[in-house]
Amino acid sequence: MTKIRAAITGVGGYVPDYVLTNQELETMVETSDEWITTRTGIKERRILKGENQGVSVLGINAVKEMIEKTKIDPKEIDLLIFATVTADMTFPATANIVATAVGAVNAFSYDISAACSGFLFALTTGASFIESGMYKKVVVVGGDKMSAIMDYTDRTTCIIFGDGAGCVLLEPTVEDVGIMDSILKSDGAGESYLHMKAGGSRKPASHETINARQHYVYQEGSAVYKFAVTNMADVSAQIAERNNLTSGNIAWLVPHQANKRIIDATASRIGITEDKILMNIDRYGNTTAGTIPLLLWDYEKKLKKGDNLLLAAFGGGFTWGAVYVKWAYNTK
């Protein structure tokens, strides 16, 4: 029987207009452009400003752009998955809000929470629905409004994150392209190093939690860094090995944009040179579930049919993973 694969057949993205530069951060916390640039590779990030503007705004704009570019009828979308840790509300799912806003009236939709690995988890989940023959059009969105959970008095964390979202359309193909393989991992022991202390059911919001500034990202940066470097590189090497991917036949490494030094470590582990790494961390910082689809959106024109892409991520949970994608189209 011919194998049905899930091909990425369209991409959309959106970043808000407001640019938060390292220079502006210098006026907010004790830091310097030089420190941020050398430790992370980030120069600026985008921030979604304004009242009542949730992550759905980012997702809606990204999906609308994809629909416009691919000219699909939104009524044909079967399923929309939104990977995010900054949902508009605890419930309903942000995916529901996005699906309705873009006219995907026949889709069912739900959120996935896997922090910076969220897009890879959602992509693999969406692909399985296509591969099984169950659905024909699945939209996978990854995005976060990290500024909503950022403590702009904590210099170790606020310099890293930004807001943005990207999405892909998945459709069936019998060609030898699409989502070829994936390895996904999680380890709940990572909880202590990267989490938000309050606002969930364990510790609901109260005057005390607000006074203790517990509604922001808590991160032990150097511990997270050590786990990220090892795990993202390990899983990338593993997926490369079992698919005979080498520095010679990988067209692009598409790494989660958390820290340029973590990306460099992953690239060197699989022998990838700088010219084959997609990067936009300097402009957007870490947009959590948004980084990988935003890279595909930013560099769509460079990607050619048949290109081998290695997507890799690491994030809170801990969660991490790598996905091997064979690109399915050329952009005119």
Ligand X SMILES: CC(C)(COP(=O)(O)OP(=O)(O)OC[C@H]1O[C@@H](n2cnc3c(N)ncnc32)[C@H](O)[C@@H]1OP(=O)(O)O)[C@@H](O)C(=O)NCCC(=O)NCCS
158 is catalytic: no
Nearer to ligand X, 12 or 190 (CB): 190
What is the total count of residues that contact ligand X (CB under 6 A)? 19
d(CA 175, CA 172): 9
CB of 39 to ligand X, least distance (A): 5
Span near ligand X by CB under 6 A; candidates 32-40, 51-59, 136-144, 270-278: 32-40
Q: Which of 10, 13, 48 is closest to 291 using CA atoms?
A: 13
224 part of the interface to ligand X, by CB under 6 A: yes
In angstroms, give the least distance from the CB of 175 to ligand X.
33
The answer to whether residue 256 is catalytic is yes
Determine, following the binding rule CB under 6 A, whether residue 31 of this chain makes contact with ligand X: yes
Measured distance CA(88)–CA(105) in Å, rounded: 20
Q: Is 286 a catalytic residue?
A: yes
Report the phi/psi class of residue 52: left, alpha or beta, with left for phi > 0 and alpha for psi in -120 to 50.
Answer: left
Catalytic residue among 22, 61, 96, 116: 116
CA dist., res. 329 & res. 157, Å (int): 38
Interaction pattern, residues 275-294, with ligand X; x per rule: CB under 6 A: -----------x--------
Q: Is 258 in the site for ligand X (CB under 6 A)?
A: yes
**Amino acid in position 28:** M
Residue 156 in contact with ligand X, rule: CB under 6 A: yes
Report whether the peptide linkage leading into residue 318 is cis, meaning its omega lies within 30 degrees of zero: yes
CA 181 vs CA 6, 184, 236, 250, 286: distances in Å: 11, 10, 11, 14, 25
Q: Which residues are catalytic?
A: 116, 256, 286
What residues line the site for ligand X (CB under 6 A)?
31, 35-36, 39-40, 116, 155-156, 159, 221-222, 224-225, 228, 258-259, 286, 314-315
